[in-house]
Structure 1
Amino acid sequence: MASLKEVKERIQSVSSTQQITKAMKMVAAAKLRRAQDRIVQLRPYSEKLAALLANVSSGNNEEGMNTYSEEREVRRVLIVPVSSDRGLCGAFNSNVVKACRRLIESDELQGKEVEVLPIGKKSYDNFRKKGYPMVNDFYEVFGDLTFDNVREAAEYAMNSYAEGKYDKVYLVYNEFKNVATQIVQTEQFLPIVEIEQDETVNTGIDYIYEPSKDFIVEELIPKSLKIQFYKAVLESNASEHGARMTAMGKATDNAAELLKELKLTYNRTRQAAITKEILEIVGGAEALASAS
């Protein structure tokens, strides 16, 4: 059995850890509210923009919408894993890394040249250690998460695809559902995936185009792609804080359970030590009585 001093030191250590995890949970909760507000506000705009783009570009399938929808033989692939800068958020980062590895090892990408554009220090560190070819110019965007900073990464992927450097681009990120649920998504970013529409339902809207339909489509597509990229980063950011809040909440609860056990062990050890001392005193007294 451990000594009283050892048990007491461990109680103090677990109490300090519990205070830290509780504070981290509160910080994550505050950050989650702001991140959740951002993604909730962006989702309707992103969805409406995508629907408008699909409607405007319908009827031009025989010519293709533009460079970003061009299908070609896949030889080089760019994967964009969106992780966090810090850990202590459960399986948040490892799920993204595992999804990327599954994608790389899939039959679709067998024999293809794969390059990684990490968003977040955790994905950067992981793929750097594994020796994957990387574009390491944009992994620190979470230090100042703004649309302008994320747009630079999106423009790099878009321009590289348009120039023929990559034949496909994938986004791998955690989609935010709620505090306890984050779903890993693997989406094809480029070329643009054609949206299937129900032929039995007439969803067409008669627009008046100014200056022209082609000009509107050419303006909408790059903007829609950048918004889609930014949305994925915001989804991941909100998911990170939700995962960290959940992980720190569980850690705080576990610390509380451990403290109960340690305090019980401390009381039992203390009681055993007192009993031992009483027995020694009684034994000494009986020995003196027998001697006299």
Structure 2
Amino acid sequence: MANLKEVRNRIASVNSTQQITKAMKMVSAAKLRRATDAIVQLRPYANKLNDLLANLSATLEDGASPYLQDREPVRVLVVVVSSNRGLAGAFNSNAIKTANNLIAEKYSEQLKAGNVSIVAIGKKSQEYYERRKYNVIGNNNDLYQELNFINASKITEAIMEGFINGQYDRVELVYNHFRNAAVQYLITEQLLPVPKPEPKKEELKTKTPKIEAQVDYILEPSKEEIVEQLIPKNIKIQLYRAVLDSNASEHGARMTAMDKATDNAGELLKSLKLSYNQARQAAITTELTEIVSGAAALGG
């Protein structure tokens, strides 16, 4: 009977866990809707603004804006966007792994010299890099409690100020791009200096840029003044978009992970109930055998 009690306890434990995973899946689904609406509304604006500035900055000189200055990357800052909580599958570990690969492949010399700094947006990446004695700047874990453009801009302004002052020569951004609830993929992009548009494949083959590739905009008051105002705003928008992308990806990954956990708990319950019934049947058979044997002994 001790085995029966143990199996009953395990069934009760798995039942309780399954209820928790179901509840977490429903909560993540509700949060995912709001997070998806936010990123879907921002993404067209962010992409269009980025394309506009790419066309304008391609015609400007390198000194037209301090955010366009391409320096030798002696000091590097890597912005890693993760989440504050776990139970989201490989969401956080993949983001951290991608950032580590980026540092190892492109900035290994800077890492050896101690010139790689980390801005962690999310408790999981913050704890990871602090444990490994990286130079982690600031604490941005409260951003997800009130995620909006103003709060995200405070982080971006500090990064932009560090770039202008020469504290960082290059700023890289690592985050999860949201595609749907089941699919998120890692993105690594250069935030500062603002990258110039890459030539298209046709232009690389012919080695002559196509005239129609550049869009002719009517600018007022002037190209330089507009770019001076729009480049800082675009940098803030791009970081905010990355955080919104990562936020939606987190809820999608957690919803998927909790759905799989619920299904696995159901399969485990079936196996445990089968084991319980088999053990119960064996116990009953043993008791009947003992009763019959005892009765036969008394009759003899």
On whether the aligned pair clears a TM of 0.5, the verdict is: yes
The aligned residue for residue 56 of structure 2 is 56
The aligned residue for residue 194 of structure 1 is 196
User: Residues 1-292 of structure 1: matches in 2 within 5 Å?
Assistant: 3-60=3-60, 62-112=61-111, 113-198=115-200, 199-200=209-210, 202-290=212-300
Is the 8 Å Cα contact of residues 80 and 170 (structure 1) preserved in structure 2? yes
Is the 8 Å Cα contact of residues 178 and 245 (structure 2) preserved in structure 1? yes
Is the 8 Å Cα contact of residues 76 and 110 (structure 2) preserved in structure 1? no
Provide closer, same or farther for how the CA distance between residues 255 and 201 of structure 1 changes in structure 2, counting only shifts above 3 A. Answer: farther
Separation in structure 2 between the aligned mates of residue 63 and residue 101 of structure 1, nearest angstrom: 30
Letter of the structure 1 residue corresponding to residue 283 of structure 2: A
Q: TM-score, normalised by structure 2?
A: 0.92
Q: Is the partner of 1:116 in helix, strand or coil?
A: strand
Letter of the structure 2 residue corresponding to residue 21 of structure 1: T
The aligned residue for residue 205 of structure 2 is none
Q: Is the partner of 1:111 in helix, strand or coil?
A: helix
Separation in structure 2 between the aligned mates of residue 140 and residue 183 of structure 1, nearest angstrom: 24
- Per-residue deviation at 1:214? 1.1
Unaligned runs of 5+ residues in structure 1 are: none
Separation in structure 2 between the aligned mates of residue 145 and residue 214 of structure 1, nearest angstrom: 32
- Per-residue deviation at 1:181? 1.2
Provide closer, same or farther for how the CA distance between residues 65 and 197 of structure 1 changes in structure 2, counting only shifts above 3 A. Answer: farther
Q: Is the partner of 1:118 in helix, strand or coil?
A: strand
- Per-residue deviation at 1:35? 0.4
Letter of the structure 2 residue corresponding to residue 288 of structure 1: L
Letter of the structure 1 residue corresponding to residue 238 of structure 2: Q
- Number of corresponding residues: 289
Letter of the structure 1 residue corresponding to residue 269 of structure 2: L
- Per-residue deviation at 1:197? 4.2
- Per-residue deviation at 1:72? 1.2
RMSD: 1.5
Identity of aligned residues (%): 56
- Per-residue deviation at 1:258? 0.3
Letter of the structure 1 residue corresponding to residue 3 of structure 2: S
Provide closer, same or farther for how the CA distance between residues 187 and 204 of structure 1 changes in structure 2, counting only shifts above 3 A. Answer: closer
- Per-residue deviation at 1:91? 0.4
Is the 8 Å Cα contact of residues 14 and 259 (structure 1) preserved in structure 2? yes
Q: Is the partner of 1:202 in helix, strand or coil?
A: helix
Moved more, 237-246 or 189-198: 189-198
The aligned residue for residue 206 of structure 2 is none
- Per-residue deviation at 1:163? 1.0
Q: Is the partner of 1:3 in helix, strand or coil?
A: helix
Separation in structure 1 between the aligned mates of residue 171 and residue 85 of structure 2, nearest angstrom: 25
Unaligned runs of 5+ residues in structure 2 are: 201-208
Is the 8 Å Cα contact of residues 25 and 255 (structure 2) preserved in structure 1? yes
Is the 8 Å Cα contact of residues 88 and 244 (structure 1) preserved in structure 2? yes
Moved more, 208-217 or 268-277: 208-217
Is the 8 Å Cα contact of residues 58 and 197 (structure 2) preserved in structure 1? no
Is the 8 Å Cα contact of residues 117 and 139 (structure 1) preserved in structure 2? no
Letter of the structure 1 residue corresponding to residue 218 of structure 2: I
Provide closer, same or farther for how the CA distance between residues 148 and 107 of structure 1 changes in structure 2, counting only shifts above 3 A. Answer: closer
Q: TM-score, normalised by structure 1?
A: 0.95
Separation in structure 2 between the aligned mates of residue 194 and residue 56 of structure 1, nearest angstrom: 10
Provide closer, same or farther for how the CA distance between residues 2 and 187 of structure 1 changes in structure 2, counting only shifts above 3 A. Answer: farther
